Structure 1
């Protein structure tokens, strides 16, 4: 009998636990049985999936790809059985792995976690905050919150909200260096920039009279990879920062950051989207979380 799903589960356990013996203990199989199953998969595929040494097992590139697809297939099997057993209205349950940027997580997700878990008590939420764009399959993540344009067409996406960008500085910095009246004044200012896209060395603007869009090169003595970092340094009075309005709104209301050059604001919008690997039957816990965010974060 063909039991490829069972074999996939064995290889996933080997990848997760790093050895045949540890995978065998989890599956109640002998290490030799686990080794034979891994060898059988490799023989059938005609490729090496695991590199064996006396100290560890490491996945090859083909092994990484196989395990990533195996996880998705096993998740679909599990969800299909849940739907059949519990119907379309099956209660969301199980571990939900979510990734989000630090700023979005701190300002939006973390305050909402208690409400979501109270609504869905059988879900266990695993939240990681990082400003790196992760591979959902490779990192075994169910869902990620992405800000800005989406580039991976293999992922499904649902728009949650949007936010414009603005240039801000601390009052103490503006007292020392003056308030820029036009983009040309930025030559005399320290501009805090992002380091992950060189195009961000040019800031976009729009002429308040003609409406024409243009960009202006800026420079400064600091670059960072997150809006949270630039916000903190702007609050310290280090310079001007151009970051998303969604996570400096409270600072502006408190007067600890002041918008500048608003007449020249380009009006560019960043979309906030929930992205996930698309399946014919989306797991109930993922659907519940996306619906919850769309309900609470809209606008």
Structure 2
């Protein structure tokens, strides 16, 4: 091995070590993962900082906190390490897709719509290890935090590739018991006399849109409970707590069984929320990523959980 090759290998090792320290939260934790002593890990981080001429970590007796430069170095380290893994995986991919596939999905949609499909995908691709995370936090796919992320709504400008998986309508629903006790709204204005369960994000003043006599309108609503996902709001509505306006995928079973009934459907504006899989595209996209996105697109195209 010549000096240049050795230096490159050392730098790759340094990236791996720094990423491990950030992931484990301590030198000792990183040492256990890497098979090194805590002091060896600490000296390696010192050498990285000396080579770069900046401090990457703020050390205290309780925690290791990355500086702004440390955060930037970590993002780069994750991306480079993911690229190295992909490069090696592509060589090993000669046959069937294989390797670890990191997928991020929103809590409600992931639990209701994606999780039920994972078993079938695992049977089709037994050499792929699915690393699945349910979170409403937007992960940075470009920085290597996930291979595929399922996103709702408008997509921001980025270098990522987006594949449409479907779209979800919204509807207003309530339990028959609630409507028997409080009456069924016949016009949007009637909702002012009802407990309207709403989301706790997006808008300062929650409004529900309608189309009345061919004209669009938005109605401010109020209620006793707010939540960060439609599944929770649907459960509350099914329990007779109030009226909710949610994505159809989160209440499709309750509507089919009669536990919930749609209301004011003739004034539904028909707004939909697009659902995409986002990933790093291009000629070097790992086969396991392509296989998973193709699988989701095919399975969700006609799925009842994504209502048109």
Matches within 5 A, 1:1-299: 1=4, 2-3=7-8, 4-29=11-36, 31-87=38-94, 90-136=95-141, 140-151=145-156, 153-198=158-203, 201-207=206-212, 209=213, 211-278=214-281, 281-299=284-302
Classify 1:54/1:33 alpha carbon distance in 2 versus 1 (closer, same or farther; 3 Å).
same
Tell me how far apart the structure 2 counterparts of residues 86 and 122 of structure 1 sit (CA, whole Å): 10
Per the TM alignment, residue 78 of structure 1 is displaced from its structure 2 partner at its CA by 2.1
Tell me how far apart the structure 2 counterparts of residues 218 and 260 of structure 1 sit (CA, whole Å): 15
1:266 partner SS: coil
TM score, norm. by length of structure 2: 0.87
TM score, norm. by length of structure 1: 0.89
Per the TM alignment, residue 267 of structure 1 is displaced from its structure 2 partner at its CA by 0.6
1:13 partner SS: helix
Classify 1:261/1:42 alpha carbon distance in 2 versus 1 (closer, same or farther; 3 Å).
same
Per the TM alignment, residue 28 of structure 1 is displaced from its structure 2 partner at its CA by 4.5
Tell me how far apart the structure 1 counterparts of residues 282 and 204 of structure 2 sit (CA, whole Å): 35
Per the TM alignment, residue 278 of structure 1 is displaced from its structure 2 partner at its CA by 4.8
Q: For this pair of structures, how many residues does the alignment match? A: 295
Classify 1:148/1:86 alpha carbon distance in 2 versus 1 (closer, same or farther; 3 Å).
closer
Per the TM alignment, residue 259 of structure 1 is displaced from its structure 2 partner at its CA by 0.5
Question: RMSD of the TM alignment (CA)?
Answer: 2.3
1:275 partner SS: strand
> Which digits, 9 at most, give the CA deviation of each residue in 1:72-127, with x for residues without a partner?
1111122223323544xx43323222221222122211211111111111222222
2:129 partner SS: strand
> Which digits, 9 at most, give the CA deviation of each residue in 1:261-289, with x for residues without a partner?
11110110111111234566222222221
> Which digits, 9 at most, give the CA deviation of each residue in 1:135-178, with x for residues without a partner?
44679332221122223524332110111101010001111111
> Which digits, 9 at most, give the CA deviation of each residue in 1:1-49, with x for residues without a partner?
2322222112112222333344345444555543343223223333211
> Does the 8 A contact of 2:142 with 2:160 survive in 1?
no
Per the TM alignment, residue 62 of structure 1 is displaced from its structure 2 partner at its CA by 2.3
Tell me how far apart the structure 2 counterparts of residues 171 and 83 of structure 1 sit (CA, whole Å): 55
Unaligned runs of 5+ in 2: 303-308
Classify 1:24/1:218 alpha carbon distance in 2 versus 1 (closer, same or farther; 3 Å).
closer
